[in-house]
Amino acid sequence: MNYRAIFTKALEDLRSERRYRVFVDLERDVERFPYARRYRQDGTTEDIVIWCSNDYLCMGCHPEVIGAMQDAATRYGAGAGGTRNISGTSHPLVALEAELADLHGKERALVFTSGWISNLAALGTIGGLMPDCLVLSDQYNHNSMIEGIKRSGAQRQIFRHNDLAHLEELLQLAGDRPKLIAFESLYSMHGDIAPIGKIAALARRYNAMTYMDEVHAVGLYGPRGGGIAERDGVMGEIDVIEGTLAKGFGTLGGYITGDASIIDAVRSYAPSFIFTTALPPAVAAAATKAVRLLKDGANWRAQHQRQAMLTKHALSAAGLPVMSNPSHIVPVLVGDAERCKAASDMLLDRHGIYIQPINYPTVERGTERLRITPTPLHTDAHVAALVDAMVDVWKTLKLPFDYVENVVEFRREPSKGHCTFADFKKAAE
Amino acid sequence: MNYRAIFTKALEDLRSERRYRVFVDLERDVERFPYARRYRQDGTTEDIVIWCSNDYLCMGCHPEVIGAMQDAATRYGAGAGGTRNISGTSHPLVALEAELADLHGKERALVFTSGWISNLAALGTIGGLMPDCLVLSDQYNHNSMIEGIKRSGAQRQIFRHNDLAHLEELLQLAGDRPKLIAFESLYSMHGDIAPIGKIAALARRYNAMTYMDEVHAVGLYGPRGGGIAERDGVMGEIDVIEGTLAKGFGTLGGYITGDASIIDAVRSYAPSFIFTTALPPAVAAAATKAVRLLKDGANWRAQHQRQAMLTKHALSAAGLPVMSNPSHIVPVLVGDAERCKAASDMLLDRHGIYIQPINYPTVERGTERLRITPTPLHTDAHVAALVDAMVDVWKTLKLPFDYVENVVEFRREPSKGHCTFADFKKAAE
């Protein structure tokens, strides 16, 4: 048996389908975000502009967040030293969980080392503990949710994306058995938003539990950054809200919040939680600082939305096929894996603009896209340079323009000039 | 349907089986390790001595490791900003992977956010890509390995713990199909060590791949901290070595090392890797520093072994039932879940000594134990105080002593006095 040949063949398969990923080796620079240093394969470097970070609000670069990490490292060290049960429950982690429960108005929160694991652990446990449970899962749910549902052993039915009628049909058919509706508030590759209140109303009518992933919304939406559910005034109607510390909150880790009994059951039963070293106190302290800052971060969120809307407007006005949605995500359709990769490569090599290609299986074939994520620190000048670069790439590669439809509206206000963390501070005061 | 009642009942079940875990809320203090501040439920605090940390070598408290974390946070921020494919591949993380490949003498390494995920991702992918694969799994393999093997969909057969004859029998029966032997080098709850060279020889004879978990040994054993396989001179005979950054290396995360094609296949196929935010550059930099320090850490490792052997000797000489093994783990048998919890509680409340109880399902029923992990920073005086406290608890709770058997040998050398990180530095120079 030549084992190496098996793996070599598996990699060739990916290459032939244009799905082989090459990671871009980057050094972010907190003083100059969105600029970063890119290390080429030959060891040379160049400056590039990041346009695809999920550190949506740049909180990973915020001096107070970094300061909290450093201060906690000075006092408590670089790691947790064990699983939660074996000396790894640090006081900063306990404080973070209290902060997150407060953010979502829930009894309790539980932190994991990643959002992926939160979904695996929580859905795996909740679905597993409910006898004869039926999980109703949105068609576009994230991989981690699907893995969690499968891990639970519960029956799974998929409802069409954000389709209330289909969901209701499945709820009716299910009858009296325990039911769990699993969905996201904001779907990251499409940028569209779930009708949370209406899903919660269906859940009440048919006596189903609700589990909602808010990872692309926490910190970014709602008066205190509680997410879309907070913005829509329906946080209290969702049983379990899952979030991340690694996007809007700029650090690492995932979490769930909900009733004490549900959260305690996940804490007590999920092997992926029990047998994992806890998040370092320094990471927990940094995350707590980011959550606290964003509870007062309305102006920072507004600046984020402004730059996202400006980007959509400017790209669409130039005829680039921006895929319409009501969120901060700016997907631009290419529709072919190879050309999507080529567009991404040309943006990077010719224009120093980094936007990774989004291909199958992350999105459906034929809907390959560039996914752009403006931040509050992308200036109007950055946006203008992005538009020029993308128009050049679209023309060079003969990609289709879209001159007629969907120019995104944008009400230009007098420019406030370059946004910095000092503005964040001013806004919060 | 009263959903809350389902979870409340599940928690009651755990309580009635004495398996409900209460986490101890701790503040480690890098200046005073093994001392830490414990927060009681009522908000008051007290100083305790940690005797159950998996930060075996105290690298999480090492000033150079903390300094590396702080320096990287200053330059690159608090988080990675995305998955590995979406702007999250930081240069410090690339450097860490090179450092780990070098440590194990392998072509390539891949870092995950936890050891649990490394096993899920790697075993899940490797077992899944090999057609008709049979995984031969040691009876005492860690939960994360079992989850990975299950996730792979491959057939699994369990061989009796460290039993070469049983393993060979299963290899013979399996015939020509692809086979993967999955085992650990050092089993953390028992402290015993696998016959790695002999397992590798069987793998060669029957043409099987080998996957070995070294999480409780990396940093601690071998001339450069490469683990038991390095110590035994057999690193090159194992196909995939999995390790952790969260124990001997004092930080957070897990990794695998091996042939480029195998590692690249896991990188390219494992959803739990692909869809997870990367480890923050600051954590990667801290881990790299710990790995580098320990490549020159022979004296620090010797000091760790000395304190572990002294602890075993002193406890066994006092008649406490130390479970015999050849490693740094010091398990003391209690044999009953409730009394194990009571012993742990009394050590904490009466003596300020923190050793969590190890009960089912982590170990088999009837073998419940206290698991003690001495570090280089536990002084001879700490060991003496531990022995006194445990003898008091054993007498108070009328737990069985074991005066006859197994007094662990210890050759007392002239005391070197209290060990500090300055000694580490001196040793390295």
Which three-class secondary structure string do you get for B173-200? Answer: HHCCCCEEEEEECECCCCCCECCHHHHH
Q: Rounded CA gap, A62 and A300, in Å?
A: 12
Q: B186 forms bridges with which residues in the sheet?
A: B193
Residues 112-131 of B with CB under 8 A from A: 113-117, 120, 129-131
Residues 6+ away with beta carbon under 8 Å from B142: A275, B119, B184, B188, B213, B215
Per-residue HEC secondary structure of chain A comes to: CCHHHHHHHHHHHHHHCCCCCCCCEEEECCCCCCEEEEECCCCCEEEEEECCCCCCCCHHHCHHHHHHHHHHHHHHCCCCCCEHHHHHCEHHHHHHHHHHHHHHCCCEEEEECCHHHHHHHHHHHHHHHCCCCEEEEECCCCHHHHHHHHHHCCEEEEECCCCHHHHHHHHHHHCCCCEEEEEECECCCCCCECCHHHHHHHHHHCCCEEEEECCCCCCCCCCCCCCHHHHCCCHHHCCEEEEECCCCCCCCCEEEEECHHHHHHHHHHCHHHHCCECCCHHHHHHHHHHHHHHHCCHHHHHHHHHHHHHHHHHHHHCCCCECCCCCCCEEEECCCHHHHHHHHHHHHHHHCEECCEECCCCCCCCCCEEEECCCCCCCHHHHHHHHHHHHHHHHHCCCCCCCCCCCCCCCCCCCCCCCCHHHHHHHHC
Give the count of beta carbons closer than 10 Å to the beta carbon of residue A21: 15
Using DSSP bridges, classify how beta strands A108-112 and A45-50 pair: parallel, antiparallel or unpaired: unpaired
Spatial strand order in the sheet of A155-159 = A108-112, A254-258, A240-244, A209-213, A179-184, A134-138, A155-159
Q: What is the DSSP letter of B114?
A: -
Which whole-number Å values give the CA distances from B115 to A83, B168, B216, B273, in the listed order?
Answer: 11, 28, 11, 12
Q: What would the pLDDT profile of A198-239 be if each residue is shown by its tens digit?
A: 999 999 999 999 999 999 999 999 999 999 999 999 999 999
Chain B CB within 8 Å of residue A83 CB? yes
* Cβ atoms of residues A341 and A422 within 8 Å: no
- Min Cα separation A414/chain B (Å): 30
Chain A residues in contact with B251 by the CB 8 A cut-off are 78-79, 280
Q: What would the pLDDT profile of A282-313 be if each residue is shown by its tens digit?
A: 999 999 999 999 999 999 999 999 999 999 99
Give the count of beta carbons closer than 10 Å to the beta carbon of residue A298: 15
| Full-model pTM | 0.96
Residue A18: the pLDDT is 83
The closest of B294, B289, B211, B257 to B111, measured between CA atoms, is B257
Chain A CB within 8 Å of residue B398 CB? no
Give the count of beta carbons closer than 10 Å to the beta carbon of residue B426: 10
Shortest CA distance from B253: residue in chain A: A277
**B24 backbone dihedrals φ, ψ, rounded to 5°:** -95, 125
B117/A117 touch (CB, cutoff 8 Å), yes or no: yes
Determine the residue among A9, A46, A252, A262 to mutate to test chain B binding: the one whose Cβ has the most chain B Cβ atoms within 10 Å. Answer: A252
Q: Supply B342's token pair.
A: 């009571």
Phi-psi group of B335: left, alpha or beta (phi > 0 → left; psi -120 to 50 → alpha; rest → beta): left
Residue A416 has pLDDT above 70, yes or no: no
The closest of B267, B302, B20 to B129, measured between CA atoms, is B267
| Active-site position among B179, B247, B295, B312 | B247
Of A54, A73, A276, the CB nearest to B114: A276
Mean pLDDT, residues A82-86 taken together? 95
Q: How many beta-carbon pairs below 8 A join chains A and B?
A: 329
Q: What would the pLDDT profile of A337-383 be if each residue is shown by its tens digit?
A: 999 999 999 999 999 999 999 988 889 999 999 999 999 999 999 99
Q: What is the DSSP letter of B50?
A: E
For B383, the 3-state DSSP assignment is: helix
Q: What would the pLDDT profile of A235-266 be if each residue is shown by its tens digit?
A: 999 999 999 999 999 999 999 999 999 999 99
Chain B residues in contact with A252 by the CB 8 A cut-off are 79-80, 113, 277, 279-280, 283
Question: Looking at this protein, which amino acid is placed at residue B291?
Answer: V
For chain A, give the percent of residues with pLDDT over 90.
Answer: 90
Of the pLDDT bands very low, low, confident and very high (cuts 50, 70, 90), residue A41 is confident
Shortest CA distance from A61: residue in chain B: B77
Residues 130-149 of A with CB under 8 A from B: 130-131, 142-144, 147
Using DSSP bridges, classify how beta strands B179-184 and B209-213 pair: parallel, antiparallel or unpaired: parallel
Q: Give yes or no: B398 in active site.
A: no
A21/B268 touch (CB, cutoff 8 Å), yes or no: yes
Chain A CB within 8 Å of residue B20 CB? yes
Q: Rounded CA gap, A85 and B355, in Å?
A: 10
Residue A429 has pLDDT above 50, yes or no: no
Residue B422: the pLDDT is 79
Chain A residues in contact with B114 by the CB 8 A cut-off are 113-114, 117, 276-277
Residue B341: the pLDDT is 94
Mean pLDDT rounded to a whole number for chain A: 95
A82/B283 touch (CB, cutoff 8 Å), yes or no: no
Q: Supply B251's token pair.
A: 């930080």
Q: What would the pLDDT profile of A102-151 be if each residue is shown by its tens digit?
A: 999 999 999 999 999 999 999 999 999 999 999 999 999 999 999 999 99
Of the pLDDT bands very low, low, confident and very high (cuts 50, 70, 90), residue A404 is low
B55/A10 touch (CB, cutoff 8 Å), yes or no: no
A85/B356 touch (CB, cutoff 8 Å), yes or no: yes
Residue B404: the pLDDT is 58
Of the pLDDT bands very low, low, confident and very high (cuts 50, 70, 90), residue A408 is confident
Q: Supply B311's token pair.
A: 């602890």
pLDDT tens over chain B, length 429 residues: 789 999 999 999 999 988 899 999 999 999 999 999 999 989 899 999 999 999 999 999 999 999 999 999 999 999 999 999 999 999 999 999 999 999 999 999 999 999 999 999 999 999 999 999 999 999 999 999 999 999 999 999 999 999 999 999 999 999 999 999 999 999 999 999 999 999 999 999 999 999 999 999 999 999 999 999 999 999 999 999 999 999 999 999 999 999 999 999 999 999 999 999 999 999 999 999 999 999 999 999 999 999 999 999 999 999 999 999 999 999 999 999 999 999 999 999 999 999 999 988 889 999 999 999 999 999 999 999 999 999 999 999 999 998 656 677 777 665 566 778 877 765 554
Chain A CB within 8 Å of residue B157 CB? no
Residues 236-255 of B with CB under 8 A from A: 239, 244, 246-247, 250-252
| Active-site position among A150, A179, A198, A247 | A247
For chain A, give the percent of residues with pLDDT over 70.
Answer: 96
Chain B residues in contact with A209 by the CB 8 A cut-off are 3
